[in-house]
Amino acid sequence: MMDDTDRKLEPHIQELCRSAQEELRQLMRDRAQVVKHSSSSRMLSPNNSANPPVCRDILLTEKRPLTANEVYRLVRQRFPMLLAEHKEPVSSVTTVLNRLVKYGEAESFFVGKRRAWQKVGGYGRLSHLW
């Protein structure tokens, strides 16, 4: 049961929550920009696994969860030489995507029998039809 003091504080608490939510949204936008900038400014090297900055950038720019095969195709389109010397390029991409999950920069889940990855915060798991 709420007393008069609780009723007087309730609008202030709601405003504090709204303000904290907006600040968190802004911090997440700022973080995405920093990550995007850092991934675009690093050197690309064919012997550098599948290159985490490239995979990170793909997850940030695509607006849906992606499988390792989809990320591989996008890497190959944007940077054809990056994976040219890899024996198992999709495995290399999968390794990098799993590292991004470990670093807290991506999340993975299963859709049916397929694993998909997306940026942290995601786009909604139902936004992509398999």
Give the span between the Cα atoms of 116 and 62, in whole angstroms. 13
pLDDT digits (tens, 9 = 90+) for 26-81: 988 888 887 776 655 444 444 445 678 899 999 999 889 999 999 999 999 998 88
Structural domain contains residue 30: no
Q: How many domains does the chain have?
A: 1
Q: Give the pTM.
A: 0.57
Q: Domain range holding 65?
A: 44-127
Residue 19 tokens, joined: 């303000």
CATH number at residue 95: 1.10.10.10
Structural domain contains residue 26: no
Structural domain contains residue 83: yes
Neighbours of 117 (CB within 10 A): 26
Structural domain contains residue 18: no
Structural domain contains residue 9: no
Structural domain contains residue 17: no
